[in-house]
Every structure is written in structure tokens, then in C-alpha cells.
Amino acid sequence: MNLPEKVEIIEVGPRDGLQNEAEFIATGHKIKLINALNKTGIKRMEAASFVHPAYVPQMKDAAEVINGIERAADIQYMALIPNEKGFERARANGVKALSLVVSASNSFNVKNVKMGREESIQQFESVITKAKVEGIFIRYNIATAFWCPLEGKVDLKVSLEIAKRIDDLGVNEIVFCDTIGRANPKQVYELFEEVQELQLKAMITAHFHDTYGLALANINAALQAGVSRFDTSIGGLGGCPFAPGAAGNVATEDVVFMLDEMGIGTGINLKALLSCVDIVKPLTKRELTGHYHKILKYQHT
């Protein structure tokens, strides 16, 4: 088994997780969650999203969140932006790390950000140029990199081609997202095997949802294809507002538990994560999809 010694976990709960909650979550709760995540050992997180407030009302307080959290010097706080306007808002709020998103599937891109895939890619080119001048870190997500809820299975070549184009722009990180959680371990392994052959300059990250219960299996497949960086969401928060039925992101504590068991280091404290789950639980009416926090009371020796 090809397994790394260490894995980096990127927490996306405060953004990808909370944005799926229909009822507005008070800014104070969001800030409390991020401040608690600060104490877990997590070193990178998506903290907010500068999207149009009418479009994703849950994220309308992005500026207040970004400015209200305790900032640890060794933690990177990223903000997602869907377009140039989002970039201006993020920059105005002193964001030092951006998370951009384009969809491998054109129809999903239209549904997600009201413009075609090419238009997204092109407008981000100027964002990237400006951001690089200012030394801003750029994370670039490829949504529906495996499956699209509208177009079905995504041709591996399409995701690879987008990755290559993005990499040529000099971004820092490329994230391959299984937005609806339908990828399978074979598909994951095959995609990342090809990704490795591209020898991209950017860091490579995988992002899985647990819709079919396959997220941990997919992480294992990605590990074996040489990926050692994963997005996760505290408690398993999340889903996708434009992909009905998509389950939450894979739970941070489930991934850390699994990696602990496998002897793979994450630098993250499981107990500290469980305090964060306790903060998250009352914020959502949905049952959290994570497994670890439910079994804990029966914890075996």
C-alpha cells in the first residue's frame, strides 16, 4: 500500500459546510466555530465566501466573519470568490488567500455562478494576475471534477485539461472536487494517476462528499495515487445547494480518526475536533453525517 507519512487537512466547514444551511446562522456562531477550529491543529481553512448576498444569503456576513475571527499567525484563512466582484470585496477585507471555483461541467458552472465555464476561467485570469502581484495565495477548485448532477460522469480528460490550464496561470493549489459525492475509488485512482503525470507546479488537493458513503474509500484511493491533501468539513457539514441530495463533505473527525488509526500524521487533535462538533450541532437542523462523534460514547479501548 502506497501511503504517505503525513496528510494535510483543509477545513471547509465554515464555508462549504455552513453555506448549505437554509436558516441564517448568526455571525457570532460562525466566528466562535472558526476560533475553536484554530485550536485543533488545523492550519488551513476556508473561512467565508464573498458571493452575492442575494444568491447565497448565508454568506452575506463574509466581511464581518473575516474581520471578527481571531487570526493565528500560522493558520491560513481562505475566502471563496465566484467572480471579479467577489475578489474586490475579499481584497477590501484584507484576505490573503483566495479560493476560486470553476466547474468541469459547463452546465453546472452556469447553474452555480450564472456564467459559462470559459467565461469563469477567463475572468479569473485577470483576478489571478492582480492577486499574484499582491502576493495573495490562490487555491483553484475544479467542481464536478468526477460527476455532474446535470451531465453525468465527467470525462477525466476534461478535468485534466482544466487543471493544466489553471496550473499554467501559476496558481498555488488545485482542488479536484467530487461535488455530488458520486466518484468511486477506481475513478479517483485513475484521475489522480493521470494528474501526477501532468507534473503540475501547484499543490494537489482532493475534495470528497459522502453521498454514497464512498468518501473515505475515495480518500484511500487518492492516497494510493500519491495525494496527501484533503478538504474535510467538521461534523460532515455541507452538501451542495445546486445538487439536491448531495450529502455533506466528508467529516473532518472521521478522516482524522481514520488517518490516526493508519498511523498517518495530521497534527490535528481529535478531542479538540469534537469540541468543534459540539459547536456545530446546534447550528444545523440536519443530522450531521459524521460517524466518529456518534460512536464516541461507546469508544472502544
Question: Would you state the torsion angle of the CA atoms of residues 166, 171, 177, 179, taken in this order, to the nearest 10 degrees?
Answer: -80
Q: Which helix (H) or strand (E) holds 60?
A: none
Size of the site for a copy of itself (CB under 8 A): 46
> What single-letter DSSP state applies at residue 181?
S
If one counts every other C-beta atom within 10 angstroms of the C-beta of residue 285, the result is 8
* The one segment of 4-12, 113-121, 197-205, 292-300 that binds a copy of itself by CB under 8 A: 292-300
Question: Could you give phi then psi for residue 79, rounded to 5 degrees?
Answer: -125, 130
Pick between residue 84 and residue 155 the one whose CB is nearest to a copy of itself: 155
Taking the alpha carbons at both ends of the chain, their separation in whole angstroms is 26
From the list 148, 177, 240, 276, the catalytic residue is 240
Cα–Cα dist 250/18, whole Å: 14
The three grid cell numbers given for residue 55, joined into one nine-digit string: 444568491
157 vs 297, beta carbon nearer a copy of itself: 297
- Residue 295, interface with a copy of itself (CB under 8 A)? yes
DSSP class of residue 203?
E
Q: Is 228 exposed, middle or buried (0-12, 13-18, 19+ CB in 10 A)?
A: middle
Q: Does 185 bind a copy of itself (CB under 8 A)?
A: yes
Span near a copy of itself by CB under 8 A; candidates 13-21, 23-31, 227-235, 290-298: 290-298
Among 73, 74, 261, 285, binds a copy of itself (CB under 8 A): 261
Cα–Cα–Cα angle for 11, 17, 22, nearest 5°?
Answer: 165
- Tell me the residue type at 84: E
Residue with cell 494517476: 193
CB of 301 to a copy of itself, least distance (A): 4
Which residue from 187, 232, 249, 284 is in contact with a copy of itself, where contact means CB under 8 A?
187
Range 198-237, binding a copy of itself (CB under 8 A): 210-217, 219-221, 224
Pick the stretch among 21-29, 46-54, 240-248, 277-285 that binds a copy of itself (CB under 8 A). Answer: 240-248
Pick from 94, 170, 245, 265 the residue near a copy of itself by CB under 8 A. 245
Would you state the cell numbers that stand for residue 249, as one nine-digit string?
Answer: 463533505
Longest dimension (CA), the chain: 54
Give the nearer residue to a copy of itself in terms of CB position, either 187 or 205: 187
Active site residue 148: no
Please, what is the angle between helix 27-37 and helix 270-280, to 10°? 170
Q: Considering the rule CB under 8 A, would residue 157 count as an interface residue with a copy of itself? A: no
Does 5 participate in binding a copy of itself (rule CB under 8 A)?
A: no
- To 10 degrees, what angle do helices 84-92 and 117-133 make? 30
Told to check if 269 binds a copy of itself by CB under 8 A, we report no
Considering the rule CB under 8 A, would residue 60 count as an interface residue with a copy of itself?
Answer: no
Only one of the segments 34-42, 48-56, 131-139, 176-184 lies at the binding site for a copy of itself (rule: CB under 8 A); that segment is 176-184
Binding site for a copy of itself (CB under 8 A): 1, 3, 147-152, 180, 182, 184-187, 189, 210-217, 219-221, 224, 244-247, 251, 254, 257-258, 261-263, 290-292, 295, 297-298, 300-301
Which residues carry out catalysis?
Answer: 240
